A and B are shown apart, each in its own frame.
Chain A
């Protein structure tokens, strides 16, 4: 991916915010990246176009799933500094609570990184970090470095 190469050349290979801004779908969801020392957190501010259930209202499960997946990929890129986007092989989502019309936060850890495939776990929360709204785990194919 050109942007990854470019960021690496500029010595900014850990600038996940610049990468997120470069991905049209991440822009569509309105996702930004916050860094606190070593930890990376994704932030998805609430907006009406994220709503899946207008009665509650609740954030669409697809937007929840997309944020989990995006958080996983960004964390993987941060940890591996590979120059191609990892390809998702599978992704499983557990929905724990409905996403209320609030800002949603995400974090991920690379649980195992092999030569060709990585296993990543991600979680989302809103106002209370102890009350997770969704969990995700998936496998990603890494491009040979």
Chain B
């Protein structure tokens, strides 16, 4: 099992949105996205934008791969696809919670599911299914170009 500490480094976009890893539960990762004004999609109702849910689910799924017991911490990955089903709008002024789990890791691909909820994990506001390609380039592009010359 990976160290929770290793998972803590945040991307600038995650920091800007304001979501944080709150812990792990076996192979699953748990996240929280506090309600914030800049996440609102409909100013009439205060309901947060679907795009913010997309962002936290995408990030949560990536972290779940890194939390898989067979994940090679030297490796890298890229999202291949992500499908989100929106079940109901998030209740305004209430945090969004996410539970993500990588349920299969093969040589090339990681398969991950995620659930976004507010009060009860069994009453989701959205669910997601994602696949990640493993061992993708993770070096600055300039170096990539130089090495191909």
Instruction: Please judge, given known A-B contacts A53-B11, A56-B138, whether A65 and B86 are in contact too, CB under 8 Å.
Output: no
- Whether B85 contacts A63 by the Cβ 8 Å rule is no
Give which listed residue, B48, B59, B86, B137, contacts A62 with CB less than 8 A: B59
- Whether B54 contacts A66 by the Cβ 8 Å rule is yes
Q: Does A111 contact B (CB under 8 A)?
A: no
- Whether B11 contacts A55 by the Cβ 8 Å rule is no
Q: Quick one: CB contact mask for A50-71 with B, threshold 8 Å, 1 for yes?
A: 1111111101111101110110
Instruction: Please judge, given known A-B contacts A3-B43, A63-B13, A65-B55, whether A55 and B138 are in contact too, CB under 8 Å.
Output: yes
CB contacts under 8 Å to B, within A5-34, are 22-29
How many A-B pairs fall under 8 Å by CB? 142
CB contacts under 8 Å to B, within A45-98, are 48-57, 59-63, 65-67, 69-70, 85, 87-95, 98
Q: Which A residues lie within 8 Å of B140 (CB)?
A: 55-57
Q: Does A1 contact B (CB under 8 A)?
A: yes
A145 CB → nearest B CB, Å? 17
Interchain CA distance A1-B45 in the complex, whole Å: 9
Q: Does B16 contact A (CB under 8 A)?
A: yes
Q: Which B residues lie within 8 Å of A36 (CB)?
A: none
Q: Does B52 contact A (CB under 8 A)?
A: yes
Determine the residue in chain B with the shortest Cβ distance to A1: B44
